[in-house]
Structures are given as C-alpha cells and as structure tokens.
Amino acid sequence: MPEDCIFCKILAGEIPAAKVHETENTLAFEDINPKAPVHVLVIPRKHIPTINDLAREDGALVGEMMLAAREVARLKGVDRSGYRIIFNTNREAGQEVFHIHLHVLGGHPLGPMG
C-alpha cells in the first residue's frame, strides 16, 4: 500500500469515511466535498493509480465497480431519476487522487458534459 494514498488509508481504516456500500473487492463512501446532492465514490481495494494502469486482468474488477455504482444509485434513490458515473484520468480531467475511483453523481439535473 502506498504510504501517501488517501484512499488506501480509508481502506485501512486510518482515515474515517462515511461508507455507503462495500463488497469483497470494492468500497463506496461519501465524497468529502460533494458536487451534487448525491456524490459517492466507488474504489477498488486494490491500489491502481489511473485507468491507464489497468491490466487486462483488472477487467472484472472494473465491472464490479460498475455493479457497486448501480447498487449505490439504488441505495441513494437516484436509480430512476438519473445519475452520472465519471472516472477522471490525469491532470486535465481533474484527477486529484491517484487510486482509481468512480464518481456517482445525482439528485439534481446535472447539465451537459464538458
């Protein structure tokens, strides 16, 4: 586990987080600085810095992250109204934490992308 990874510290219980959902391979928790009424992060327990670092064998893990996101949307009551799933990769996309995570955003109209 990289010493300086905030999300590895959350996984280790060294930093608190408001957990929403967990599985053997994933954890979902509330974003500390929410950008929408529903803003939950889904992370794998495995430390992978960016989407660029995914290996072919990580495909099932990313699929599990999507299934976890679906469950988060249901638990948060936005599965019918609508939600957006985002993976940011590297600086120009705004990636700040280099442990892959998907954002589940919803709870109000989200507007166009860009």
47 binds Zn ion (CB under 5 A): yes
In the complex with ligand 5GP, the residue whose CB is nearer, 4 or 57, is 4
Which element (helix H / strand E) includes 85? strand 83-86
| Interface with ligand 5GP, residue 5, by CB under 6 A | no
Max CA distance (Å), the chain:
39
In the bound complex, what is the minimum distance in angstroms from residue 35's beta carbon to ligand 5GP? 7
Catalytic annotation on 101?
yes
Chain-centre distance of CA 57, in angstroms? 19
Q: Please give the residues from 35 up to 94 whose contact with ligand 5GP meets the rule CB under 6 A.
A: 41, 88, 94
Q: Among residues 36, 38, 32, 4, which one has the least CA distance to residue 17? A: 32
